Amino acid sequence: MRLRDPRYFKQPSFMIIPMIDVMFFLLVFFMMTSLSMVDLRTMGVQLPFASQAEQQPAAQYVVTLRRDGSLWLDDAPIDKETLLASAREQQQKDSRFNVVVRADKGMNYGDVMALLDDFKRVGVVQLGLAAESGAEP
């Protein structure tokens, strides 16, 4: 029985490039899936549920009214007078200007209505309230 000449044996090689490709793919995959699991609206507000909630066009101002009574405009704290003055200017520039209020479900109903009345007082006519769609768990 004749054995092969050892000079013609191909030496095994360790190919690292495909392994790097796979590792980068896994890294990107887990980064993307973890982003989809995180609520991108980072404000600590629990919105009430509404079974008939509808998707509305994008609001120009998203005002968040937190449980502690603080006001936030697009994820930045703001005082009421500055907010109302800015809303008045925007309403005068654009008649289609709209505001969506994201009020925590633990907020006093009177405080939410007072904020809506303040917006109406400065001339904002297109107001909306944000809610989670679906039945309350």
For the stretch 10-29, pLDDT in tens is 777 778 888 999 999 999 99
Each residue's pLDDT tens digit, 44-89:
666 566 666 555 555 578 888 888 888 988 878 999 999 999 999 9
Burial 19-36 (b: 16+ CB within 10 A, else e): eeeeeeeeeeeeeeeeee
Count the Cβ atoms, other than its own, within 10 Å of residue 92: 11
pLDDT at 1: 60
Specify the pTM: 0.56
CA dist 70 and 66 (Å) reads 5
With a cut of 60, say whether residue 40 has pLDDT above it. Answer: no
Q: Is residue 104 within 8 Å of 134, Cβ to Cβ?
A: no
